[in-house]
Amino acid sequence: MKHLIDPTDLTKGEIDEIISLAQDIIAHRDRYQGSMSHRKLATLFYEPSTRTRLSFTAAMMELGGNVLGFSDARSSSASKGESVQDTVRVVGNFADVIAMRHHIEGAQLYASEVSKVPIINAGDGSHSHPTQTLTDLLTIQRELGHIDGITIGFCGDLRFGRTVHSLIKALSRYQGIKVILIAPPELKLPDYIKQDVCERTGIPYREVETMEEVMPELDVLYMTRVQKERFLDEDEFDRVKDSFVLDSARMALAKKDMAVLHPLPRVNEILTEVDDDPRAAYFRQVENGKFVREALIVKLLEWKDDPAHGMPSEDKPVVDPELRCTNRKCICNNEHAPHKFRRTETGALRCWYCDSKVR
Ligand code: NCD
């Protein structure tokens, strides 16, 4: 069964197929209308969303399909204590594909272990957000004409920003990528992305603390919101919330054809004075999200039972009753998911579900 839980569930070839189908849908929208008639998408959203849920809904509607689901877990059986595995076992009888967002990390991976329909991860805590990544890749392709060879600056909350984690993972499949990380010390990129992704795949990265020093080098500036809801300590959030603000003066330092991306919602990190700059691509990015989700739904249903498009083969999990995942927000510390781990190429053990360190 093909699911999309993590960007690395897709091969480079599969990413290319989705991006080029999205471009074909943009060019010939009428050809795809009705292609999903009699098909149903379930959107199970345990955490707030505007763009992701509505763009999945709009995508399925444009393909002539139907959508069911919930946008507030309080109105679902989760409020009675139902597990995510039981919920997808049930919903798999009603829908052909499920898009799920959850505040618990690894919830979708755990759910996919028992699902009879493809699961799409629409965001799990601060861990991953692979459909935003497809949106970002399509946007970079359309804005710059290529993805290989770009220098991309990630700015803001690189610690909790799941869109950043997923995009860096996907970019590790491309050639000649350079990553610049612009964040205060409290919001730095997690070690597992630096070590298991950048260092393992040889993506050069540099950590800096001001935007000004790197603006002229960037082909893409990826701005992010400081993720208030993920902080355990409100004072810490107040200290870092306005760390980086993009304004016209900083845009003046950038290349004439740089693209500014932001997964949105924005709070203070991009002043509205930047919106009219032709390099501000974040509202075009939103529309790309709808097209790429159309392409993803079509492809996942096509690949569903095709052995040529399985999930990446994983090593066997390491299970040891002495070992525990250290992440309180991981599925294995919230539901009855087992504590299991994978050994990375550097020999470290990481949680199977959320990539956290092991105790
Ligand atoms: C992002 C998310 O939910 O992670 N938004 C989105 O899906 N477009 C980014 C954010 O919430 O800051």
Does the annotation count 43 as an active-site position? no
Is 39 annotated as catalytic? no
Q: Give nearest CA residue, ligand 1 atom 7.
A: 52
Report the percentage of the chain scoring pLDDT > 70: 100
pLDDT band at 347 (very low <50, low <70, confident <90, very high): confident
**Pairwise CA distance, residues 69 & 238, whole Å:** 35
Confidence (pLDDT) at 73: 86
Could you report the per-residue pLDDT of 264-315, keeping only the tens digit for each? Answer: 999 999 999 999 999 999 999 999 999 999 999 999 999 998 999 989 877 7
Interval between CA 170 and ligand 1 midpoint (Å): 17
- Asked about 11 being catalytic, the answer comes back as no
Counting from 1 in the atom list of ligand 1, the atom nearest the Cα of 163 is 4
pLDDT at 297: 98
Residue from 108, 120, 131, 132 whose mutation best tests the ligand 1 pocket (most atoms within 8 A of CB): 132
* pTM of the full structure: 0.97
Q: Of 168, 115, 116, give the one whose Cα is nearest residue 8.
A: 168
Which tokens belong to 165? Answer: 């984690």
Which of 3, 127, 129, 329 is flagged as catalytic?
Answer: 129
Averaged pLDDT for residues 57-77:
94
Atom of ligand 1 nearest to the CA of 51: 8
Which residue in the list 43, 52, 133, 151 is annotated as catalytic?
Answer: 52
- 26-46: pLDDT as tens digits: 999 999 999 999 999 999 999
Å from CA of 244 to ligand 1 middle: 17
To the query of whether residue 52 is one of the catalytic residues in this protein, the response is yes
